[in-house]
Structure 1
Amino acid sequence: MAGAGDRSRDDARLPCRLYLVTPPAFETKAFAETLKAALGAGDVACVQLRLKDVTDDHILRTADVLLPIVQDAGAAFILNDRPDLAAVLGADGVHVGQDDAPYAEARRLVGPDAIVGVTCHDSRHLAMEAGEAGADYVAFGAFFPTATKDPKARAPFELVRWWSEMMTVPQVAIGGITVENCRPLIEAGADFLAVSAGIWQHADGPAAAVAAFNAIFASP
């Protein structure tokens, strides 16, 4: 499966890839159709289900619908925050923030073969700690203003360039990324762009946004 955990620095010359993050709230049945169209429009490495302030049952029921759609498209299904539920679901992985379960606990819950990614904000130190612990990717951001969540830091493009040149663990750039502003992150060496509103709120629709990102990734 072509997920985030597959990228190593040996693949550094491969194009950047998309990492989709679900909207903050949505109606599951309608969104499932939107997601199918988006995944059919171009390469997507991962889809992260990110739902806040909802019950565990709601997360599980939503994931039961979306997980097979994501996996059937050849992408990895990543659950935000909850390694315990990721293990129950048989998700491909989990993404944890600095205030969520520590990396070691997340790894214990999801097992050795699952993807575990870690939010590192704008911190080289946090990223190096996560990488040394065994994280499959580190996530830096926010790089641009975003209304999807309240970012705890603004990360500089130079951080992406430094990590790309110095480290082997893949990096995900996140925060306010759109088709219009993504090129500096690609040029700096980001392995994946995590995009939410830039996909789901694109003027021409999510499928058009996925296609547009992939066209940029493929361009010289």
Structure 2
Amino acid sequence: MTMLDLELTLANLLHALGRDGRSVAEGALDAGRVLTLCESHRRLACGLLLADLDVEGFRRSLARGAEAYLGLLVARERRQDLDPYALCASRALPLMDALAAGHGALARAVALRVTPRWTRRMEPRADFLFFHALACEVKGEALAPVLEEASRVGVSSARFEVLEALVAGDVRAFESALEARVEDWHGELEQQRLRDALPPDAANTEARVCLEAVALFHLAHARGLRPDVPSRYVPPEALPPVEPSEGAP
């Protein structure tokens, strides 16, 4: 990817955000459109970070997407006609966006409204359990029951190993599991690429920054862990600032 490719991608995303933002604001509420808007904000955030190391723009765009998603979840409280597929817990990527933006209050507001039940035939149980676990962590609820359920139904992956390390407070296990998760994430994207299922805007932006890892780093920091950065796809600029140790100048 060249810098020109990235600049063209950013221009396309800004155009899409203007169009989709007007559509969401002016038209009847459509859950799918809101998720598309969130997706564009996510891609723009990654593009800004990659192009200019624009950390503020990165965090601002992620937060805007999460705010749009929060609006959708709030609307669900008074609407019964919204697409349940779009409201599955496993579609709650904007929860990770809010975490990756370092916006704890926004992440909590989203987590409080994420669908707490598995939507059968609409989402893999493993994906539901992962996002349910994230929401529980953000709300300050115990993760152990969710991890026990995952073990009971045979769900096992690097994602859950990261969460287990988080609960145990084991920074080395967290680093190892997160490195494995980043590699799994990259492999999933490569499979999409081979099937021509990875849109160019995604390939140039969010496929180059593992926002899930950034979000998990924020959760680790909130628990007092200070893990090392994975070797790939996690720009240090996107991570929480490291506080100086006692006695440091």
TM-score, normalization: structure 2?
A: 0.27
**Which is helix-richer, 1 or 2?**
2
TM-score, normalization: structure 1?
A: 0.30
**Which is strand-richer, 1 or 2?**
1
Where relative contact order (Cα < 8 A, 6+ residues apart) is larger, the structure is: 1
The higher radius of gyration belongs to 2
